């Protein structure tokens, strides 16, 4: 799980986490929660959580799609 993901362009360390964390955890990234989720109202938080969590955690997050999009310059 990656938390506090920036809404804008991620920095190099964040991009490296996409590749490094699965090898350290010996598991795929199971979700990405964006910065500022603590400021969202209940409905917004629920929607952001569903979109940021993998299906195994009750969401719709697509790890392969995220890795492909985040890896592009």
- Domain containing residue 52: 2-70
pLDDT band at 66 (very low <50, low <70, confident <90, very high): confident
DSSP conformational letter for 68: H
The count of structural domains within the chain is 1
Q: d(Cα 36, Cα 12) in Å, to the nearest integer? A: 20
What was the pLDDT predicted at 9?
Answer: 86
Q: d(Cα 51, Cα 69) in Å, to the nearest integer? A: 15
Residue 32's DSSP bridge partners are 2
pLDDT over threshold 70, residue 73: no
* Segment 4-57, tens digit of pLDDT: 999 888 898 888 888 899 999 999 899 999 999 999 999 999 999 999 999 999
Model confidence, pTM: 0.79
Q: Cα Rg for the chain, rounded, in angstroms?
A: 12
């Amino acid at each position: 799980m990656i938390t506090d993901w920036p809404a804008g362009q991620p920095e190099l360390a964040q991009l490296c986490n996409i590749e490094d964390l699965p090898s350290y955890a010996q598991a795929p990234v199971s979700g990405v929660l964006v910065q500022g989720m603590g400021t969202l109202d209940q409905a917004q938080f629920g929607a952001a959580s569903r979109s940021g969590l993998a299906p195994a955690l009750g969401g719709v997050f697509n790890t392969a799609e995220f890795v492909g999009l985040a890896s592009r310059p």
